[in-house]
Structure 1
């Protein structure tokens, strides 16, 4: 068990594209501000370790709690989602199942598009933020580092992520497959967060289009991206004007409510809109217009091609790598269980040594302090090493062995992670 001295259990809980549609995921989406607020509230409530991740595909919390409801309550309090809604689509894993889940997520095996590793960068960022706030214990830090290690090995030792496998790539693939004469179309990209930037790079790489315009609420960020690729940047105030002058609109903003609706569109020319945002940033009412085609990222993620089929063949190798690193992590967790008892045993033996040396000093006039200290120190180290080796390799009854050591040496019973 991974329960620690306070009776806390490690949980991984949340919702993802597998059971929750885009609208529901939007209800539980966390931006930077709400994630930070959630972490601060967790600290106030005495949560000792917690990590928050929120992407277009999933929102998840990893942490220690007496009951999962403590974590669910934090999530619902900082989003517009309700507990009842969460229960309909959620998953809750604990202990070793939770560890396995985090490994699959971080390694791209649970991504909406197989091999999409964008989640690992957020996991790194989320871990650093939790650590900065004093909300990352040694267990969680070691787990995140192990998942990062697995992700790196899968990237280098398999072809699971060969080529681009992400929502941004899928959106470009959709455009290339469904739009004729793409190089001469006007493309407007609204929002240049991570997905927006990646989409922009994929567009330039694969479409050879020279008519891409960027709009972002913070214009300077758009100008940074535009400078790299010699693109046009327009003010946010001119969004409607630019929408009506474009052939393809890609929306990838982080707004909590729709920023584009049918009233933004007055042109009668064909308009393809790709909404890559969670929550949705394009109001479905745009479909009331006959000239508009709206595609959301959930539809894009269903696109499969020969590249994705080849990636599926890499799953067994990726799982082997995960199993290897996860086994090492679980062994480390198991060893931590024995550490307090071994430490207490060593302290007990040192107490016995001290008492015995005091007795021997009184008996012998020329008592050799240095020699006696060296011999007893070495003996204690060898004895504790033997016990530690036995506990680590006792697959049948390690708990019974622990209890026996505690009884024989009269060590106070304590339970730790």
Structure 2
């Protein structure tokens, strides 16, 4: 679906998240880095002026300008395994101010599955950076993401919304702490050393004091880099089955599009806890056919409630106040940007009328004072322009309609272009 002739562009946020979509459905709509590139390329070819794409374990969202939200929905469904029918049941579409509000909530961790998760702002930065390479970020979206980044920084430094460790990686460690006696040392196998795997590794060492951690990654040198930082053991991918058999806890964070662990890889009768931190799920449900295996997915991990997470809720009003302040500044910029050309054209038009009237009356009025006439006329022009500007800022006024009326009444089209 390309451009719709005559229809104006609006800013939209469309997507699916943990709020209405379970892990399986989020997996269906997830976008790999390669799929994200395809979305951006197609967006450019279809005339979408600005677009950013984010796909994490908890959400897949498109932020961009379109003439109809279906232009963005179509892009998402064409490059993921989700359908339009499924999207309509579980997704959300926000427009203009509501889309802005949503991006602020997401970027500051207030819409995260684990409240105060600040990893999301880094993912948003990368998403916008990638879009910029495709020349798909217009001044509006660039200013907006910078405002969101500013809000995130202020909330992080001025509130305790991020107190304690955050994110899915911390939730997995919290689960282990709550389900195993303090001081016991389990053999932990971490399969996958991407971002979630690295963060999990760091949290395991920091909070469990457990050094019996083994790392496996399909690309061994990545695992070795992580292991070197923490002085841990690395094993070859070929030894995965053998290492699972020796483990008490298996943490899977491989980020693959299909399950990487199934019951065929498990050859042990000892109790085995598997924590799947991946979207889509990287552990096949068939592992539950084994009596000795317990499987916990990140959706369950995210439901962990503890004093730290509950305490963060006390700082939501403070965070919302910071967001409101920064949003107000953004709105002022947005308003001035939307009608600045019209106001400039109006002042130019009024100045032209002033000059014509002064020229016409200069010789007709005895002792005509040019300086005084200019001074008074300029003040009148400023007051007229000020009244129009205030009218355009009124929330109950349709700015586009008001600007069109001004253009018609004063014939400003040529001057504003």
Contact 1:391 1:402 in 2 (8 A): no
Count of paired positions: 401
Structure-to-structure mapping, 1:158-169, within 5 angstroms: 158-169=159-170
Report what 1:272 is aligned to.
Answer: 273
With 79-88 and 380-389 compared, the bigger mean Cα shift is at 380-389
1:320-350 CA-partner distances (Å, limit 9, x unpaired): 1111111221222222221121233355568
With 321-330 and 182-191 compared, the bigger mean Cα shift is at 182-191
Q: In 2, distance between residues paired with 1:302 and 1:251?
A: 18
Report what 1:134 is aligned to.
Answer: 135
Report what 1:214 is aligned to.
Answer: 215
Contact 1:9 1:66 in 2 (8 A): yes
Compared with structure 1, are the counterparts of its residues 403 and 277 closer, same or farther at alpha carbon in structure 2 (3 Å cutoff)? closer
Q: In 1, distance between residues paired with 2:47 and 2:397?
A: 34
Q: TM-score under structure 1 normalisation?
A: 0.88
Compared with structure 1, are the counterparts of its residues 263 and 382 closer, same or farther at alpha carbon in structure 2 (3 Å cutoff)? farther
With 211-220 and 16-25 compared, the bigger mean Cα shift is at 211-220
Q: TM-score under structure 2 normalisation?
A: 0.88
Structure-to-structure mapping, 1:250-261, within 5 angstroms: 250-261=251-262
Q: In 1, distance between residues paired with 2:229 and 2:74?
A: 43
- Tell me how far 1:195 sits from its aligned partner: 1.0
* SS of residue paired to 2:413: coil
With 242-251 and 271-280 compared, the bigger mean Cα shift is at 242-251
* SS of residue paired to 1:253: coil
**Larger relative contact order (CA 8 Å, sep ≥ 6):** 1
Contact 2:345 2:416 in 1 (8 A): no
Report what 1:185 is aligned to.
Answer: 186
Contact 1:353 1:376 in 2 (8 A): no
Q: In 2, distance between residues paired with 1:252 and 1:182?
A: 25
**Unpaired segments ≥5 residues, structure 1:** 364-371
The reply on whether 1:15 has 2:12 as its aligned counterpart is no
* SS of residue paired to 1:313: helix
* SS of residue paired to 2:346: helix
Report what 1:152 is aligned to.
Answer: 153
The reply on whether 1:38 has 2:35 as its aligned counterpart is no
Contact 1:176 1:182 in 2 (8 A): no
- Tell me how far 1:42 sits from its aligned partner: 0.8
- Tell me how far 1:237 sits from its aligned partner: 1.8
Equivalent of 1:393 in 390, 393, 403: 390
Compared with structure 1, are the counterparts of its residues 11 and 403 closer, same or farther at alpha carbon in structure 2 (3 Å cutoff)? closer
Compared with structure 1, are the counterparts of its residues 385 and 137 closer, same or farther at alpha carbon in structure 2 (3 Å cutoff)? farther
Compared with structure 1, are the counterparts of its residues 208 and 337 closer, same or farther at alpha carbon in structure 2 (3 Å cutoff)? same
Q: In 2, distance between residues paired with 1:155 and 1:245?
A: 41
- Tell me how far 1:355 sits from its aligned partner: 9.0
Q: What is the RMSD of the two structures over their aligned residues, measured on CA atoms?
A: 3.0
Structure-to-structure mapping, 1:98-117, within 5 angstroms: 98-117=99-118
1:201-229 CA-partner distances (Å, limit 9, x unpaired): 00000111111111112222111111111
* SS of residue paired to 2:76: helix
Contact 1:185 1:209 in 2 (8 A): yes
With 347-356 and 171-180 compared, the bigger mean Cα shift is at 347-356
Structure-to-structure mapping, 1:224-263, within 5 angstroms: 224-263=225-264
Compared with structure 1, are the counterparts of its residues 387 and 157 closer, same or farther at alpha carbon in structure 2 (3 Å cutoff)? farther
Compared with structure 1, are the counterparts of its residues 187 and 350 closer, same or farther at alpha carbon in structure 2 (3 Å cutoff)? same
Compared with structure 1, are the counterparts of its residues 240 and 330 closer, same or farther at alpha carbon in structure 2 (3 Å cutoff)? same
Q: In 1, distance between residues paired with 2:347 and 2:412?
A: 10
Structure-to-structure mapping, 1:320-331, within 5 angstroms: 320-331=321-332
Q: In 1, distance between residues paired with 2:375 and 2:76?
A: 53
